[in-house]
Structure 1
Amino acid sequence: MQTQTATKAPRLSREVIAAEALKNATENNSVANYQAIYEGFEAKGIPCEEVEPRVNVFTYNAWRAKGRQVRKGETGVKVVTYINAKGKEAENGEGQAEGYKFSRTVAVFHITQTDPIEPKGE
C-alpha cells in the first residue's frame, strides 16, 4: 500500500505577499465596500473628503508594499474582499484546475495611520 504525502505550497516572502496585496487592491474595481470605508473612517475622525479608497486606503500588506508601516495600536476598518484561489487538478490529471473566489474580512487603514518605512542601512 502506497501512502501519499501532502506537499505544502512554498511559503511566500513578506515582499511577495505585500506586492500581491497591493496588486489586488489596485486592480479590483469593486465599490461594494466604499460605504463602510467612508463611515468607518468618519467614525475615527477622518473626514470623508480625505478618504479615497485605492488611493490612500489600503490593507496592512499593501501599505508595506508602498513603503509604509501601519502604526502600532492603530485599528482599521473591516471590509469584505474576495480572494482568487486555484482549484485542485482533476484526479486523472486531465483538464485544467478550476479557480474560484472566496470572501475574507480584512482591515484597511488610512494613510494618516501609517509612517514611512526607513531604509535598513541607516
Structure 2
Amino acid sequence: GCTNCHDGLLFTDLQYHNVGIGMDKPNPDLGRYTVTKQDKDRGAFKTPTLRDVARSAPYFHDGSVATLEEAVDIMLAGGKPNPWLDRANLKPAKITPEERRALLAFLRSLTEEGELKAPRLPQK
C-alpha cells in the first residue's frame, strides 16, 4: 500500500522507486540509473514527502500531472506499466469512491496553513 514508500514523519522512505512516470516517452528519463548504472534503478526517482502535497503541483518528477486527484489515481492504478516498475512496493489498490475522497482529504490535511517564521534570536 501507500505506506510502503510514504511512511514516517515525513511520509517518505527517502528511497528510489520506478512508478512508470515518463517511461512511455520516446526518450524516457532514466532517473537514478544515470548515477548507478544498475538496471533496477531505471526510471527510479526518490519518493517525495507528502507534507504540503496539496501545494506542490504539478506532480511527479517531470511535472506531467496537474492535479492531486490525477496523481492519486495513477498511484491507485499501480503506477504506469514498464519493464522496471517497482512491483514489490506498488500494486493496484481497489478502493471505493468514499475511500478515495477520504484519502484526498487526508492528503490535503498534510498542508500546513500559515507561514513558518524564523525565531527572533537574542541580540547582544
TM-score scaled by structure 1?
A: 0.26
Structure (1 or 2) with the greater strand fraction: 1
- Give the structure with higher Rg (CA): 1
TM-score scaled by structure 2?
A: 0.26
